Amino acid sequence: MSQNENAIKPVDSPVKEGLAGLGSAFVTIGTTYPITKLIYRQILENENAAKSLTKLRQEGYVIVYRGIMPVMVQKCLCLPTMFAVYSAATIPLKSLNMNEYLEKTCASVISGTLEAFLMPFERVQLILLMSQYNNQFRNMFHLIRVMAKDYGFKEFFRGYTTILTRNICSNCCFFLTKSELQKRFDNADHVYMKHMQNFVYGALVGTLITVLMYPLKVAKVHIQKDLGGKYRNLLEVSREIYQTNSRGMINFYRGIEVNTLKGLLSWGITNSSYEWIKHRL
């Protein structure tokens, strides 16, 4: 390989990673969005899965996919950012000859931090998921106009610190755990077994992330469900959740069964489709 080819390879790699992440985002959201809506309804309305599912069925398929635009846009920005920035960050970090795990952690922190700036889409998605706003906001663009006009730019970043914490922890968990799984078990020869292996890697990591990050997700939802009014911090909201109905820590895990299933499927689909697309670019 020539010197020029070596010079451009590091530049192309993050682009390739980003495109693979973009493709996997489309596939993942299209297949798992109804489950996402079911989970948020359980958290927001303090219901079990059966009751939330019955309500969604009564609302119809159009309402089930209401709010998919912001989450699709957010995911199509976040996943490419996650993979591309992580890949780009490792290039200068490698020149520092630091410990492998420290290098991956630093790259994960950088990618997670940049991802957090895309949180307005996540904020808008949550409002559109809430049943009480079904008749108040027509779509994502209508909601954005109202929020910007009536509540100001700051309202889009309600819960930023919580999302930043979640992103950094999730990215560290994903890249470090996936790397370890690949080093120890990446031995499939047949192409179909390779796809299955990538799905299993993603599913295992996704399940781990879901279980570890779920209490933070519940707190984030309760912080962001308010439209206007006082800005509540993570500690304040966590105390409120803990005291609800005197159920303590159980309140932080309402809906975790469905969310774990969704995490298993979505991360499995994300990782397998990401690897498949990247292999063909």
Q: What is the CATH number of the domain that holds 56?
A: 1.50.40.10
For residue 239, pLDDT beyond 50: yes
Q: Give me the domain span that covers residue 32.
A: 3-280
Residue in 177, 234, 243 with CA at minimum distance from that of residue 204: 177
pLDDT band at 4 (very low <50, low <70, confident <90, very high): very low
Tell me the average pLDDT of the chain. Answer: 85
Average pLDDT over residues 100-119: 94
In this prediction the pTM is 0.80
pLDDT of residue 188: 67
Percent of the chain with pLDDT over 70: 94
The mean-pLDDT minimum among 66-70, 71-75, 268-272 falls in: 66-70
Residue 39 contacts by C-beta under 8 Å, 6 or more apart in sequence? 255, 258, 259, 262
The mean per-residue pLDDT over the stretch 23-49 comes to 82
Number of domains present in the structure of the chain: 1
**CB of 249 closer than 8 Å to CB of 238:** no
